[in-house]
Amino acid sequence: MIGELLGSGMALPAMFVGFGLLIGILFGFFGMGGSFLVTPALLVMGYPSRVAVGSGLAFVFGTAVIATLKHRDLGQVDYKLGVSMIIGTTIGIEVGKEMVVYLEELGLAGSVISVIYVGLLGGIGLFVTREALKGGGGGGVDHDDADGEIDADDIPDIAKKIQSYRVPPMLTLRGGVQVSLWMILAVAFATGLLSGLLGVGGGFIRMPALFYLIGVPVPIAVGTDLFEIVFSGGIGSLLYAELGAVNLGIVVPLLAGSALGARLGSAATSLVDEDGIKVYFGLMLLGGAVAVAIQEGGKALDLPGAQVVSLLLIVASALLVAGAVVVSSVRALQRRESAASPAAD
């Protein structure tokens, strides 16, 4: 039905470019959101699951390359942390995959994964939103301070606890944060495990984990998460491309739109207040949790329209959040300009 509405010719690539722009803003801003939005959209459009997942992964890979280059320019990628996380995440993904195989043998995979997905998205969404609303506001994200010492008050309590376990070797991260390598590997393993279990890129788990569990400043958490997605997305898209499941007719226009969006999104991180970032992130996760719950409820009750409603909810929440990012950035730019040049009476 959606295909008939769009017809053929240039309408479809143009729609992919527009959708890519929206996703790019979110990806550049939050360091997540690619596969979470693209794959369900392609499934609803009628593409086979394998092509939807493979093309989604290839798109995530391309977007992550662009966004990582941009965050690198802004000094927001901690390579030492990124490489350490890749090791732990890879092992976690493997274990997660094995758990899925075991659950499939028991015939419980679908229901268990859906419940974990909704619980995790909803739980992280609520936690992030509550923490952001509790924060005092102010103190925007200053990229010039990426290497500066972090104020102890800015480090979440859980991260302080994790940083207090001083099991050698200790790693000194960007912002002067000192954490045991074993703690980083443990956090990376846990996020990789959930990523492998749920079949997602894992940015929505890793980005908050880097901030709340390791104590890395939000801009560096976003940049380092993207750096890691370059590797996980690259390997994943290569595996699917070997199955002939990566459609460049989808990926190329999506990427063209998202490249511009990612520039806007990552530039916005230097303009919008840090607590504002966390509120948007939390609200989008809550929207995603509700969307997945509707989709799964629809499957259980055999409601054919549930998948479309779920997709519309995901796209609408993404559109609202991307719009909020752009509007907040424009307002911040205007405030900055008026502060720099006070009007003469």
Partner 1 sequence: MIAVPALPVDALSTVGAVLLEAIVLYVGYGLLVSTLESRVTAAITER
Residues within the interface to partner 1 (CB under 8 A): 2-3, 6, 8, 12-13, 45-47, 51, 58-59, 61-63, 65-66, 69-70, 234, 237-238, 241-242, 244, 246-252, 255-256, 259-260, 263, 330, 333-334, 337-338
Is 110 or 244 the residue whose CB approaches partner 1 more closely?
244
CB of 232 to partner 1, least distance (A): 13
Question: In the Cβ-directed half-sphere of 320, how many Cα atoms lie within 13 Å?
Answer: 15
Q: Which residues pair with 171 in a beta bridge?
A: 179
Of the candidates 179, 130, 117, 164, the residue with the CA atom closest to the CA atom of residue 278: 130
CB of 73 to partner 1, least distance (A): 9
Is 33 or 215 the residue whose CB approaches partner 1 more closely?
33
Is 100 or 307 the residue whose CB approaches partner 1 more closely?
307
CB of 62 to partner 1, least distance (A): 4
Is 253 or 287 the residue whose CB approaches partner 1 more closely?
253
For residue 32, give both structure tokens. 């997540």
Which helix or strand (DSSP H or E) is residue 171 part of?
strand 170-172
For residue 324, give both structure tokens. 């909020």
CB of 226 to partner 1, least distance (A): 12
Q: State residue 58 phi and psi, 5-degree precision.
A: -65, -40
Q: State residue 250 phi and psi, 5-degree precision.
A: -95, -45
Is 45 or 112 the residue whose CB approaches partner 1 more closely?
45
Contact 29, 324 (CB under 8 A): no
CB of 39 to partner 1, least distance (A): 15
Q: How far apart are the first and last CA of the chain?
A: 60
CB atoms inside a 10 Å sphere around CB 340: 7
Is 98 or 242 the residue whose CB approaches partner 1 more closely?
242
Is 95 or 248 the residue whose CB approaches partner 1 more closely?
248
Contact 279, 129 (CB under 8 A): yes
CB of 119 to partner 1, least distance (A): 33
Contact 181, 154 (CB under 8 A): no
CB of 211 to partner 1, least distance (A): 26
Q: How far apart are CA 84 and CA 80, in angstroms?
A: 6
Contact 58, 241 (CB under 8 A): yes
Of the candidates 255, 264, 324, the residue with the CA atom closest to the CA atom of residue 18: 255
Is 10 or 319 the residue whose CB approaches partner 1 more closely?
10
Is 9 or 168 the residue whose CB approaches partner 1 more closely?
9
Query: How far is residue 77 from each of residues 1, 65, 83, 297, measured CA to CA in Å?
Result: 43, 12, 11, 40
List of residues 6+ apart from 105 with CB closer than 8 A = none
CB of 205 to partner 1, least distance (A): 24
CB of 22 to partner 1, least distance (A): 16
For residue 230, give both structure tokens. 């370059």
